[in-house]
Structure 1
């Protein structure tokens, strides 16, 4: 793959800071209360959820335009869960994407776009075969 853009960020653990090389991102990190922390900062699961939701919703628009379909106002909520790995020691993650389509796409064509976007989204490609990802079209 020839890179078009490379985002660079540095973190020193779940309870420190995450800072991008260009300074646009500078966040306090903290363990969420569910993992024994105080929740006084963001966490990797929230950051992954934000990135996945943004990438998937953008890809849905691209896929729609390629098919001359106006996707209108699309909203994607990503839920990234962390829990005990059923197959190995340690922890694992899973994802649920909740996709809200505009009324004119709440049909078979809209559901087809959701699947096509999942096939094309870079985050979906990166997670395919690695973590479970459920697509839920919100009605």
Structure 2
């Protein structure tokens, strides 16, 4: 099921040339990176999975801060680690992704934090985009 946007708040634009061995540049030039396949250790290069992990971690951190504040919890010092796995699948394309998000918030017990993680997952746009498409594991530390 596709959810249509009611109102566009922001549009990000990036251009890639050369695929996993090329470059990607945002329209404002603030992100301009050399790409390399994930298992190839190319100095100064990153890969699409790292970019996805960085975006997901940042977005999830913001969603967590919002829901935590609604519950009277200060999550301003949250540490969110996002790991993105690229692997093979039995789908026609043959490849897929998996995500693991691990979060620590000083002074917040893991059990309470786990509830906040599920609430953040319900509001994070990245979580919404992948829900039902790839596995996402949430873990409180």
TM-score, length-scaled by structure 2: 0.88
In structure 1, what is the equivalent of residue 9 of structure 2?
4
Shift of 1:70: 1.5
Deviates more, 1:85-94 or 1:22-31: 85-94
1:20-63 Cα shifts (integer Å, max 9, x gaps): 0111110011113x3xx343310000000000000001110011
TM-score, length-scaled by structure 1: 0.89
In structure 2, what is the equivalent of residue 74 of structure 1?
78
For the residue of structure 2 that corresponds to 1:45, the secondary structure is: helix
Write the distance in 2 (CA, Å) between the matches of 1:65 and 1:71.
7
In structure 1, what is the equivalent of residue 134 of structure 2?
131
For the residue of structure 1 that corresponds to 2:21, the secondary structure is: coil
In structure 1, what is the equivalent of residue 32 of structure 2?
26
Shift of 1:120: 0.7
Aligned residues: 134
Within the candidate set 58, 67, 89, 1:85 is matched to: 89
Provide structure 1 residue ranges, at least 5 long, that are not aligned to the other structure: none
Change (3 A) 1:23 1:109: same
Q: Does 1:120 align with 2:123?
A: yes
For the residue of structure 1 that corresponds to 2:20, the secondary structure is: coil
Write the distance in 2 (CA, Å) between the matches of 1:108 and 1:94.
24
Write the distance in 2 (CA, Å) between the matches of 1:107 and 1:76.
14
Alignment of 1:38-77 (within 5 A): 38-40=41-43, 41-77=45-81
Change (3 A) 1:16 1:66: same
Write the distance in 1 (CA, Å) between the matches of 2:112 and 2:100.
21
Write the distance in 2 (CA, Å) between the matches of 1:52 and 1:84.
21
Write the distance in 2 (CA, Å) between the matches of 1:105 and 1:14.
40
